[in-house]
């Protein structure tokens, strides 16, 4: 089995920057991601939103930032494994590690955990009638906007994600119905205003989906208004359930790492309590931690500076400036 210097678990923005930096600095690098695509929250949760607080990008669409990060990471040819969720960890006699996914095992001298919110577990629609239509009209992960061309779409939820998706989907869609069980939205009021003024959007507050109906595919949704218990049938080709995601470390919880809830406690240069295992990005906890892309990038620099010295004590003292490295 090929042994790597560093294996990065999670291909979100922080793991991608980690893959770029580790391979740029000559470490033999592997990146393992549980989803079929890289990009983490940027791609999965808010691809169509603008981000304004990443250094060097005054304003950038989340999906474009993800593409830039993927491009930067792949430039230095790390090994990338997609659709593999890391479950088990085994420490070898010489202090290296073997991590296991359902399909493969990977050996590495160090591990860098950048698993963010964990493998994204969407909050499910509670109605039993939803289940047969998952991926036959009901989406927990939003497909490309072109998928909704000319469709009648119901978006469920009251937070920023629901509002953003409703607005983005209203462009290709024939009509969007936004359904929220409360009277007020938790998301940005400016987006609520844009939705209220949109000619192809209807908003139904105090309402919930009571039943999903159809044959082999979804055809309609029965809504119930809690105020007077009245029912209303909406013809629908698609439902986007934007009810949020549950952070879950999954099997990483059982690795003997010091945890703070669903986060991994790190100290100094992003070191966990286990030798050779580091963590960075949304998954970590330390005093003053901010869950931002910018802080995740800084943490990666600290982690890899230390990992490089851990792998080769002659290289202790931090990462050299990249401007001194001759690259194509």
Ligand X SMILES: Cc1cc2nc3c(=O)[nH]c(=O)nc-3n(C[C@H](O)[C@H](O)[C@H](O)COP(=O)(O)OP(=O)(O)OC[C@H]3O[C@@H](n4cnc5c(N)ncnc54)[C@H](O)[C@@H]3O)c2cc1C
Q: Which stretch binds ligand X (CB under 6 A): 39-47, 165-173, 185-193, 205-213?
A: 39-47
Distance of CA 235 to the CA centre of its chain: 31
Q: Which stretch binds ligand X (CB under 6 A): 20-28, 89-97, 118-126, 147-155?
A: 118-126
Q: How far is CA 87 from CA 102, 118, 227, 270, in A?
A: 8, 12, 46, 21
For position 289 contacting ligand X by CB under 6 A, the verdict is no
Contact criterion met (CB below 8 Å) for 48 and 168? yes
Strands 201-204 and 175-179: parallel
- State which of residues 10, 47, 157, 276 lies at the interface with ligand X (CB under 6 A): 10
Three-state secondary structure call for residue 68: helix
| Window 46 to 65, contacts with ligand X (CB under 6 A) | 46, 49, 51, 53
Residue window 268-287: x/- pattern of binding to ligand X, with contact defined by CB under 6 A: -------------xx-----
Which structure tokens are listed for 178?
Answer: 């936004």
Residue window 151-170: x/- pattern of binding to ligand X, with contact defined by CB under 6 A: ---------xx---------
List CB contacts of 173: < 8 A, sequence separation 6 or more. 148, 149, 150, 151, 152, 153, 200
**Radius of gyration, CA atoms only, the chain:** 22
For position 178 contacting ligand X by CB under 6 A, the verdict is no
- State which of residues 4, 6, 8, 15 lies at the interface with ligand X (CB under 6 A): 15
Query: Nearest distance from residue 157's CB to ligand X, in Å?
Result: 12
- Host H or E run for residue 48: none
- State which of residues 69, 223, 293, 303 lies at the interface with ligand X (CB under 6 A): 293
For position 32 contacting ligand X by CB under 6 A, the verdict is yes
Question: Edge-to-edge, what's the strand order for the sheet holding 259-260?
Answer: 259-260, 263-265, 284-285
Report phi then psi at 248, rounded to 5.
-150, 120
Query: Nearest distance from residue 328's CB to ligand X, in Å?
Result: 26
Residue that the structure tokens 């493998």 belong to: 119
Q: Which stretch binds ligand X (CB under 6 A): 6-14, 22-30, 261-269, 318-326?
A: 6-14
Query: Nearest distance from residue 164's CB to ligand X, in Å?
Result: 7
Which structure tokens are listed for 117?
Answer: 């919110």
Residue window 223-252: x/- pattern of binding to ligand X, with contact defined by CB under 6 A: ---------------------------x-x
Question: Edge-to-edge, what's the strand order for the sheet holding 152-156?
Answer: 138-139, 238-241, 152-156, 175-179, 201-204
Query: Nearest distance from residue 90's CB to ligand X, in Å?
Result: 15
Q: Which is nearer to ligand X, 69 or 221 (CB)?
A: 69
The residues of the shown chain that bind ligand X, judged by CB under 6 A, are 9-15, 32-35, 40-42, 45-46, 49, 51, 53, 85-86, 114-120, 160-161, 250, 252, 281-282, 291-294, 296
């Amino acid at each position: 089995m090929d042994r790597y210097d560093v294996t990065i678990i999670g291909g979100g923005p922080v793991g991608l920057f980690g893959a770029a930096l580790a391979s740029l600095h000559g470490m033999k690098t592997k990146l393992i991601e549980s989803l079929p695509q890289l990009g983490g929250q940027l791609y999965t949760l808010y691809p169509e939103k603008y981000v304004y607080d990443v250094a060097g990008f005054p304003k950038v669409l989340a999906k474009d930032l993800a593409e830039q990060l993927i491009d930067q990471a792949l430039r230095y040819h790390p090994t990338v494994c997609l659709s593999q969720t890391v479950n088990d960890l085994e420490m070898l006699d010489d202090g290296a590690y073997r991590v296991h996914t359902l399909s493969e095992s990977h050996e590495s001298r160090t591990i860098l955990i950048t698993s963010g919110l964990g493998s994204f577990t969407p909050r499910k629609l509670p109605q039993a009638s939803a289940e047969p239509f998952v991926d036959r009209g009901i989406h927990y992960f939003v497909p490309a906007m072109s998928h909704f061309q000319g469709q009648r779409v119901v978006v469920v939820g009251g937070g920023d994600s629901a509002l953003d998706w409703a607005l983005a989907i209203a462009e290709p869609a024939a009509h969007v119905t936004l359904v929220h069980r409360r009277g007020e939205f938790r998301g940005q009021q400016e987006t609520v205003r844009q939705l209220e003024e949109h000619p192809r959007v209807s908003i139904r507050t105090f309402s919930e989906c009571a039943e999903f109906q159809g044959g082999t595919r979804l055809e309609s949704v029965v809504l119930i208004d809690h105020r007077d218990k009245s029912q209303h049938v909406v013809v629908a080709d698609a439902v986007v359930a934007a009810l949020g995601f549950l952070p879950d470390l999954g099997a990483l919880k059982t690795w003997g790492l010091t945890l703070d809830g669903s986060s991994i406690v790190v100290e100094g240069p992003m070191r966990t309590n286990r030798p050779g295992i580091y963590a960075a990005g949304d998954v970590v906890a330390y005093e003053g931690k901010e869950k931002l892309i910018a802080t995740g990038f800084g943490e990666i620099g600290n982690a890899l500076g230390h990992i490089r010295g851990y792998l080769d004590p002659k290289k202790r003292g931090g990462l050299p400036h990249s401007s001194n490295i001759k690259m194509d």
